[in-house]
Amino acid sequence: MAEWTHIRSDRLGEECLRTVHPSGLTIYVWKKPGYTSSYAVFATRYGSIDTAFQRAGDQEPIVVPEGIAHYLEHKLFENEDCDAFAQYAKTGASANAYTSFDRTAYLFSCTGKLRENLEILLGFVQSPYFTQETVQKEQGIIGQEIRMCEDSPDRRALFNLLRGLYRNHPVRVDIAGTVESIAQITPELLYGCYETFYNLHNMVLAVAGDVDPDMVLETADKMLKPAPPFDLRRAPLEEPLEAVTARTEAVMPVAAPLFYLGYKVPMDTQKGLRCSTAEELISAAVLAEVLGGRASTLYARLMEQGLINPSFDVDYFEGPGYAAWIIGGESKDPDAVCRELKEEIRRLARDRIPEEDFLAARNAVYGRLVAQLNSVENCGDLLASGHFYDRNPFELIDAAASLDIQSVYVRLERDFREEASCLSIVRPQAADRAG
């Protein structure tokens, strides 16, 4: 039986276990004694941005239709014998799945029958079954989902922003793809992507709760077979430092204008697939709190002027080969909000951040991270996401406890370049404005 490596935080008194199963799968267990619920996530490092890749032996990169990772996620729940949701219904588990830009994950939470639910999870994800008939049926279902997403003002504003920021990177494309792109998907393409990315060496299983680690390994021994070596090249894309356009607007039936101001953060093209270190992520989180958090000077001023409402948010968005600041919400005057934002960024860089404001922001970030550990779902997701980018589950909390203000100034001086910014606005239709 595989041996466990202990990953411990003396600061928090928390511990999780890690092992690499003989099949090639990395497995984590986060024991939460006394918890009544358990959570498991089985994920692969395969997301919507993986539309071009080169395997060992390929002479040229393989290019696949946009949206195929999301499409594959949908199809895996149905195999030749049964539907995975029907199996979960018998055990009482709550199951779901999602596809993001950089990963696909299958998950469940339960209050009992953990072994049976793990067997269902490991079973259906390893049992692809695609036919021309089932693929065509799913094209109609996902096509409807895509059209519904196109009717979402928030989603329209976001992807208009990403297309305004990124010229080449596939992060500019909606995760679900387009009606036209998914029409190109065939069973052969699905099997090809499955065999490429659903390799156990490219996957992770994380289980959190009052869990017996030996039971998890016994279930893995029963359900997993050794995977072939994983050899895949994701070539970095050349992405200009400048944004594609400074502004993009759309009109939709909304009650008030919706906006996103984005700043494309420069990436080292030689390390285009790396993601941020723990310190870089925490410096971004602290700066977001200083700039636009609920206790910030800017937030109070904009609220007092009636320019924003509680939908206002400042977020740092990053993944393999892309990173951006995304700031937005509803506003009667998005341009006025953006002028105030840009002036606040210049002021903070010029006059520096008061020490008490920095410490309050750092403490707020630290407190949120610690509070998340009360949830088995958050613990499991933290293990899975950290695994793909070589971060242990306690690195972010340690970074938040020790972050120096200088790291925040580096971001202020580097990240907010006017030529790398785009403003995306969704305005009400003329009749709505007149009414």
The two tokens of residue 98 are 């999602």
Active-site pick, 14, 15, 60, 73:
73
Of 189, 176, 200, nearest to 44 (Cα)?
Answer: 200
Question: Is 206 in a helix, a strand, or coil?
Answer: strand
Instruction: State the Cα–Cα distance between residues 28 and 193, nearest whole angstrom.
Output: 25
Residue 299's H or E segment, with its range, is: helix 297-304
Tokens 């894309």 map to which residue? 237
Q: Is 73 annotated in the active site?
A: yes
Residues 320 and 312: their CA atoms lie apart, in Å, by 26
Least Cα distance to 161 among 205, 41, 153 occurs for 153
Helix (H, G, I), strand (E, B) or coil at 108: strand
Nearest to 194 by CA among 117, 94, 124, 108: 124
Cβ atoms of 63 and 51 within 8 Å: the answer is yes
∠ CA 108-175-138, nearest 5°, is 70
Angle between helices 114-125 and 84-91 (to 10 degrees): 180
**Residues designated as active site:** 73
